[in-house]
Structure 1
Amino acid sequence: MTEHLLSLGSTDLLVLFGAALLAGCTRGFTGFGTAMVYLPLAGMVLDPVSAITTLIMMDILGPVPMLPKVLPHAHRADLTRLLVGTALAAPLGLAALFVMNPDLFRVLVSSVSLLMLAGLLLGWRYSGALGPRAVFGTGLVAGFLGGAVGMPGPPVIFVYMASPHPAQVIRANTTLFLLGYDILLVAFLALASRLDPAIALTGLLLTVPNMLGNLAGSALFVPDREKLYRSAAYALIFGVALAGLPIWT
């Protein structure tokens, strides 16, 4: 496992840049999927903490241009409950991450990706009442998953799929939640003295291929062929999740 940008070989750098590009394309097609595509591949060449650090640094700038559009539509009470739950549980997830074996990390990341994919294909939905406690509990689960495997999105996505909120509110809350998660995790890593400046810089550099992928995915997306693009994105997520398992290397 490598820990410093300058110590990465050319093949490892190509894996990271390719992962960032593919993750951006997937998000451009589907609106989500960055972590599901990036982390299984990044876990092949980076230790678990570095993989998640590069992800949040790569992803933290992406939503900034969208903030003026989504802020007016945010359901602030729900967003607050999600982020408070995440802030409470993320340190527990990070504590698990700090002692996690790299192979176990890769298994968990691929498993969460495959479980999320199965849920999307099978149409899983949260069927309970979406009250304050349910939203807060979702934040707790998302925070732990975000700290341990860098994937806070699945619980929030599945709960909001059954939400009575309008689509623009769901989009706003999901976007702002993920940005808030990134900021919280950067703060927690810094407080734990685990925010490596070189790794953080690597993540910022990966913003370039990730944004290019986002632009390409958005430009190529044709609404009339949404099912085709989603199928391609799902196939990519499935292939990457399998490739990320430590049984191959």
Structure 2
Amino acid sequence: MPDGLATALMVPGLVWVVLVTFVAGVVYGFAGFGAALIFMPVAVVFLEPPLAVAAFSVSAVISLFTVVPRAWRECDRPATVQLIIAASVTASIGLYGLANFDVTLVRWLVLGVTTVTLLALIAGWRRQTDATTPARLGIGAATGLVGGLTGLMGPIVVLFQLSSADGAGRSRANTIVFLTVTSILLLPLMALQGVLTGAAIWLGMILLPAYGLGTVLGQKLFTPGSERVYRTVAYGIIAAAIALGLPIWE
């Protein structure tokens, strides 16, 4: 038996980690984001954070086959590709900043902006015009930078999607494609930093079936006409991300 596989199988609480991976998949399949928010608080009870992040990223590759095909047909492809390119460029800068900047201050600023935007959306604010290419590139760049600095990759791009006139189906599809592709593009960077170890890869493979089944179930639960339900769930996930992201928990 490979050493990495043996290490993965010896993880304490592996059953609970697999279970929370399934639940995270259901949330992702339905809402298009929020999986890491569900997974990480439980996983870090049993795993070191770098191992948890890397293993979960490996398991999330299955999204390419379970939810991305449908999302790719429904998303705004040019707009989503622009967001992906911009975020991929700045994510590495964010990761560098994580090791060198006062991340606590950055997190407070990001959470403050996210909170104000969320409250505005709940109150009924929407963008009055379609986003331009420079605006999408700016949002993508900000998302990658903030994601690298704080781990909050989802909320900014989701708030951007929800502020548009797009329906729930288009918003969800854009977010699924964006988050899945950017997460996979970060795997080589994790490997270069020594985070993507043999144990992380094997553990990710163990978690992959549970995550895949969860995303399939979540996708079946979503119906394009459930605009109010989708927005309520999305707002709730973002609010939870804001609360759990507060530096006071450290």
Q: Please give the TM-score of this superposition, normalised by the length of structure 1.
A: 0.70
8 Å CA contact 1:23, 1:34 repeated in 2:
yes
Alignment of 1:92-241 (within 5 A): 92-97=93-98, 130-165=131-166, 168-217=169-218
Range with bigger deviation, 230-239 or 54-63 = 230-239
SS at match of 2:23: helix
Counterpart of 2:70 in structure 1 is 69
Distance 1:199 1:166 in 2: 37
Distance 1:146 1:197, change over 3 A: farther
Code of the residue aligned with 1:130 in structure 2: it is: A
CA positional deviation for 1:194: 3.0
Question: Structure 1, residues 7-34: CA drift from partner, whole Å, max 9, x if none?
Answer: 7866432342232122123234434321
Q: What is the number of residues matched between the two proteins? A: 245
Alignment of 1:34-45 (within 5 A): 34-45=35-46
SS at match of 2:63: coil
CA positional deviation for 1:5: 6.9
Query: Root-mean-square deviation (CA), in Å?
Result: 4.6
Q: Which runs of 5+ in 2 are unaligned?
A: none
CA positional deviation for 1:4: 8.8
Distance 1:171 1:231 in 2: 13
Distance 1:36 1:114, change over 3 A: farther
Counterpart of 1:47 in structure 2 is 48
Code of the residue aligned with 1:175 in structure 2: it is: I
Distance 1:233 1:70 in 2: 17
CA positional deviation for 1:159: 0.8
Distance 1:220 1:143, change over 3 A: closer
Distance 1:162 1:198 in 2: 40
Distance 1:115 1:54 in 2: 33
Code of the residue aligned with 2:63 in structure 1: it is: G
Range with bigger deviation, 121-130 or 159-168 = 121-130
8 Å CA contact 1:41, 1:240 repeated in 2:
no
CA positional deviation for 1:87: 1.6
Give 4+ residue runs of structure 1 displaced > 6 Å after superposition. 110-120, 220-249
CA positional deviation for 1:157: 1.1
Identity %: 30
